[in-house]
Each structure stands twice: as structure tokens, then as C-alpha cells.
Chain A
């Protein structure tokens, strides 16, 4: 009987996540069909489970069903109850606890880095620290791909990073920061302080999701606000400014820096994440 409730609970959890739309706070919706398949299988399991339960009686005490399993699996009652309790954890916390947004706490634990490919500082003393990345750039592939996506961007004087183009445009900027120096860039994100920075300098980040929140990481840019301003962590800003570069000691690298000309503090967006699209 306990098993039926678990199957029913899991089916309901998955259906509820889809019906309420909350599932988009957990996964990239491009893959939502995968969890839809789960609903069907769980529903069938629940139906078949109840059919078997009522037709053949309660077999959870361990009856030979010829399937090669050791049905004496959880002989002790407390042990079985403990296992059942385990299954109820996601059902209960998934249904009743609020969905949390990833923020600076996770950034601090997971760390962050910038994919700067072309060191814009020609006199960089740290070239020898760079790994040999030539393997990543095959003759026909990455360079032409990036050059193509760059073509559209470098001709413009200003770039607006939206939810849709956020990851792609950032990648282009980090791929070739020199080509974007002096351009106007507008982006949105939450603030993250680092000890190595001046008080008016913060990172503006957004979590980028590949498949699910568990594989997300932050993508963003170093921002310099006007003197005297000192944002705390996890405040959302929309900023516009001019792209420059700065040497960032922890990474031993020159990274892009956006000198803010106008900014506004905003509420956390309805969808705080950006998603990887194929």
C-alpha cells in the first residue's frame, strides 16, 4: 500500500510541476518532454500497481513472483518504513516548499570564471600560464563559427543583452574582447561582490541553465559603478555602459569591464535564469 501512495505521489508531483508551470524554475523547458514521459510511465505504474495490489492482495510481505528479486528485501518493518520515508521526501518538499532562486550563496560555493580566449593585453606576462588551447580551435570549426556570430555584433555601436541572446553575445564578447572595446552594452543581472575589487566594482551575473538548475553556472561581467556606490550582493540591476578592460588578479588575466553610465535597480525578473539553446 505504501508503494501505491509513493507512485501516486510522484505522478502527482510531476503533473503538478507541469500544470503550475513551476517546472521552468527547475529545468530548461527545451527538455520538458522528458519529464512528460515520466508522467505517463508513473501513471501506468500507479494503475498497474493498484491492479496488482487489488487482484493479488498485498504482496509487500514478500511472495515469490518468479522474477529473480530477493523479495525478502526489507524484512524488518522499520527498515521498510525508513525506505518509504525516503520516497516521500521529494514528494513533500517538491509540493510544499517554495522554489528557491540560485544566488550569491551558490556563486560562492561553485565559483565562477570567464572564458577569455584572446588576451587583449599584448604584453601580458602570463601567457605561459595559459593552457595550450589550440586543440579547441580546429581549422574549420570554432573560429569560423565565432567569426560568423561576431560579424553581426561588431558592426553595431551598442549591444543589448536580452534573455534570449545573453549567453551567445557574452560568449562572443569574451571570445574577442578587443573588438567590443568602447561599445555601449546594456545588461541585467544580480550583483556579486569579490574581495579583490574596489567598493564600486561588482560582478553582474545571471545563472545559465543547460538542462536543470543543478548544472547551472553564472555568466556575466565585471561592472564599475560611479564612485561612492557600493551595491550589496543579490541586488538586481539593469546597467548601460562602455566596455573597457581591467587586469583581474585572482584570474591572472585581463577581463572586460563595463564602466556604467546609467543604471537602475530593478526587481528580480520573473524568470531569473537564462537558458542554453541549441
Chain B
């Protein structure tokens, strides 16, 4: 380990923070707004009673919500605390980083103005989210947050000024509760890029099953932002099959080192591990089944 490599690790670490901190800040700001201005009663009114409809509307909300896979974590936590069903909230969390217009457009550009990868990425992501929401709604009956005790806020008698200060107070609070996990995640991702030979992963295989698994593992350790990952994926297109690249694009946008650590700080460990296993299996299965 030499000094130059340590400095490179630090440079990668800082660059990941520069890229993701703005989205975390926007995320905690929105979380603060939800906390103060959206009541549980409003949520209960908006979210359809039918579980299938509630998941579909959560995915619909995700489509129009410009967020990345780390910025969405504090918002999801706040929604669950406000009474959104776990399956709908997770559906929102998983669909927002992939199904939003900016990410799909960058996929279109990255693959040389081609729609086919956009459709495959969006379609597989949509199917995965449905499967996950379905399993979660049967397996987990509680909210799975680490801090289960939720205090109820009463909205009467608060002036607008009180609300604004309350909102910022909450946002800052939230920032400090998720920020540390982002920093640990970014440090870890930077260390892996600098010190581990990830190129060895590529030598494991480009076959049907192995290629998909390798690309998913790679997307996990690279911890790319979902708006940039399509460009990285497209550089692999001469050696890896479309199926494995879609696996890369879907899995990496739902799970990577950074957001695993953030999720572990927010949700119960068993829940996070289950979620990761289900997503891994369904992305692998669907891409192998439907894409050549």
C-alpha cells in the first residue's frame, strides 16, 4: 500500500461524496417537508386500500420522482413512519432510481440512441418491484424500521413559522442520521476501487449464468450512480450479453455498497438481507428467462 494509492482512494471517496451528497441533502429536505406538512391522515387518504393498487401507485410516484438510490432512503423511512405500507414504500424506493425519465434517457443515450435497452431495463425493473412487493406483503407484517417507536405529531396550534423551523430541524436531524452511513459506504466503495482487483471478476465468466451473476456483482461493488451506470455498462457490450448488462443496470440501481450500509442503518438487518436476496434472485431469473 503506497501513499499515491491512498491519495487516489481519497480522491475517489471525495468524488463519490460530491456526487451523492446533493441527493442526500434533497432527500432529507423532502423528508422534512413530509414530516411537517403531510399528516398520517392525508397519507391514509391518498394510498389506495387495495394492496395491489397501493404498490402500483407507489411505482407511479417513483417514476416522477427524481432520486438516486441513496437519496431515496430517508424519504422511504419517513413515508413508512407516516403509515405507508411497507410493500408500497419499498416499491417506491426501488422504482424511483431506475424508472425515472432522466435515468431512462441516459440509458437511451449510452446505448447509442437505442430504445431496446431502455425497454428491457424498465420492464425488468418493473417486474422485479412487483415480485418484491408481493413477497414483502406476505412475509413482513410490521414496519421493519430499526426504531419502531413512532411518536405522533399533532398539527394543531403550530404557526407557519414553527412549521418551517420544525421542518429544518427535522431535515438536519435526518441528515445526521443517514449521512454517516453514506460516508462509510463511500469510503468502502473507494477502497475497493483502489485496492481490490475487480477486473478479476470479469475473468470468472461471460457465460449465460456466470455472465449475469458477474455483472450483478460488479454493479454492486462499483456503486455507480444510476444516471451514470448505463455508460459504464455500454462499454461492456462487446464482451457481455444484453441479458447480463440489463442485470447490471437493474441490480446496481437497486442495491450497492453505499445504500446497503444506509439501509442497514435504517431497517432491521434480517429485512435488508432478505430484500437483497430476493432482488438478486429475481433480477437473475428474469434477465436469464426473458433476454438473450
Chain B residues contacting A102 (CB-CB under 8 Å) are 8, 11
B25 to chain A, nearest CB (A): 4
**How far is the CB of A122 from the nearest CB of chain B, in Å?**
17
In Å, the complex CA distance between A100 and B202 comes to 26
Q: Is A105's CB under 8 angstroms from B4's CB? A: yes
Q: Out of B15, B113, B184, B229, name the residue touching A213 (CB < 8 Å).
A: B15
**Cβ-closest chain B residue relative to A10:** B21
A39 CB to nearest B CB, Å: 9
Residues in B whose Cβ lies below 8 Å from that of A26: 11, 14-15, 18
| B160 close to chain A: CB less than 8 A | no
A243 to B232, CA, bound (A): 26
Q: Chain A interface residue count: which class? A: 35 or more
Cα of A45 to Cα of B168 in the assembled complex, Å: 7
> Separation in Å of the A96 CB from the closest CB of chain B?
10
A99 vs B166: C-alpha distance when bound (angstroms): 39
Interface residues of A in 96-143 (CB under 8 A from B): 97-103, 105-106, 108-117, 129-133, 135-138, 141-142
Q: Which of B17, B112, B292 contacts A142 (CB 8 A)?
A: B112
Smallest CB gap from B23: residue in A: A34
Q: Give the most central of B147, B175, B176, B180: most A CB within 10 Å.
A: B176
A115 touches B10 (CB 8 A): no
Residues in chain B within 8 A of chain A (CB atoms): 4-5, 7-8, 10-19, 21-23, 25-26, 29, 35, 81, 109, 111-117, 120, 147, 149-151, 153, 165-166, 168-177, 179-180, 183-184, 187, 189-190, 193-199, 202, 206, 211, 222-225, 227-229, 231-232, 234-242, 291-292
Known: A129-B206, A212-B225, A278-B109. 17 other contacts (CB 8 A): A6-B176, A26-B14, A26-B15, A26-B18, A37-B25, A45-B168, A65-B169, A65-B170, A68-B150, A68-B151, A94-B14, A102-B8, A105-B5, A106-B8, A138-B115, A141-B115, A217-B235
Binding site for B on A (CB under 8 A): 3, 6-7, 10, 14, 17, 23, 25-27, 31, 34-35, 37-38, 41-42, 44-45, 48-49, 51-52, 64-70, 73, 83, 86-87, 89-90, 93-94, 97-103, 105-106, 108-117, 129-133, 135-138, 141-142, 145-146, 210-215, 217, 251, 276, 278
What are the 7 A-B residue pairs with the smallest beta carbon separation, nearest first? A111-B199, A100-B7, A142-B112, A131-B241, A38-B22, A26-B15, A48-B168
